[in-house]
Amino acid sequence: MTTEAVATAADLDIVACHCCGQVCQHAAGDICCVRCGTHLHRRKRDSLSRTWALLLAAMILYVPANLLPIMRTGSLFSSQDNTILSGVVELWRNGSWDLAVIVFVASILVPLLKFAALLVLLISVQMGKDWRTLGRARLFRLIENIGYWSMLDVFVVTLLVALVHFQKLSRVDPGPGVVYFAVVVVLTMLASMAFDPRLIWDTAAVARKHADD
């Protein structure tokens, strides 16, 4: 592969502005973009510790998000609590297996995939592995692009609360689970934004240099 021959911006003492893309000289110290004035950093600041903090917070809140009801459906005589999982099961039972699969992927699979992927990325970078760099780079781009679809269930609950509101006859109320779930989605999005994918290549280059010595 040609990966060995690639020059990095760090080698050449240049840095790209993360706001406008302008390439600037960067020998040392604090500098600002010559075009838009943004403060420039070679790498995202405290990337690993910030990603860890956001990821752990998301994983902890993921437990109440799934155990607590995301909405309560009530009629004159009965009321029923719905969790994320029971919502998927209900769709499946009513014959909408296609939507059940979509909701399952968006609400359950995608958050779990994000947790697993960020854990793999964080740990492999911290252990300084030169291992499947391209695969890990692709994994990061995948979770960055699909993560926001997890908000699906939050929007479903919001609409149902507004629509199903027939006094005592029939109504839907939001449960505490939906608040936790919305926060989990926001935290996982912030966590993947805090992770700097360039670290994958940095640590791989260092590991390769050690192996050559």
Partner 1 sequence: MDTSVANLVICEHCDAVHRRHELARGEVARCVRCQALLYRCPWLDVNSMFALALAAAVMFFIANTWPIVSLGLNGIHRSATLWGAIFAVASDGAGLVAVLVALMLFFFPLLQVILFGWILGFLRLHRRPPGFVPIMRILTAIGPWSMVEVFLLGTLVAVVKAGSIFDIILQPGIWAFAALTVLLTLVASFDLRRMWVLQRERCA
Q: Which of positions 16-75 make contact with Zn ion (CB under 5 A)?
A: 17, 19-20, 22, 33, 35-36, 38
Task: Please tell me whether residue 97 binds partner 1 under the rule CB under 8 A.
Answer: no
* Among 48, 85, 120, 152, contact with partner 1 (rule: CB under 8 A): 152
φ, ψ at 84 (rounded to 5°) = -60, -45
Task: Please tell me whether residue 151 binds partner 1 under the rule CB under 8 A.
Answer: yes
Picked from Zn ion, partner 1, none, the partner binding residue 142 (CB below 5 to 8 A depending on kind) is none
Give min distance, CB of 116 to partner 1, in A.
20
Cα angle at 160 between 157 and 163, to 5 degrees?
155
Give min distance, CB of 100 to partner 1, in A.
9
Task: Please tell me whether residue 49 binds partner 1 under the rule CB under 8 A.
Answer: no
* Among 53, 102, 105, 207, contact with partner 1 (rule: CB under 8 A): 102
CA distances in angstroms from 98 to 89, 92, 94, 171, listed in the order given: 12, 8, 11, 26
Taking phi first (over 0 means left), then psi (-120 to 50 degrees means alpha), and beta for anything else, what does residue 29 get?
left
Give min distance, CB of 67 to Zn ion, in A.
40
* Among 7, 27, 28, 76, contact with partner 1 (rule: CB under 8 A): 7
Task: Please tell me whether residue 6 binds partner 1 under the rule CB under 8 A.
Answer: yes
Instruction: Name the pairing type of β-strands 71-75 and 39-40.
Output: unpaired
Cα–Cα distance, 36 to 16 (Å, whole number): 12
Cα–Cα distance, 75 to 68 (Å, whole number): 20
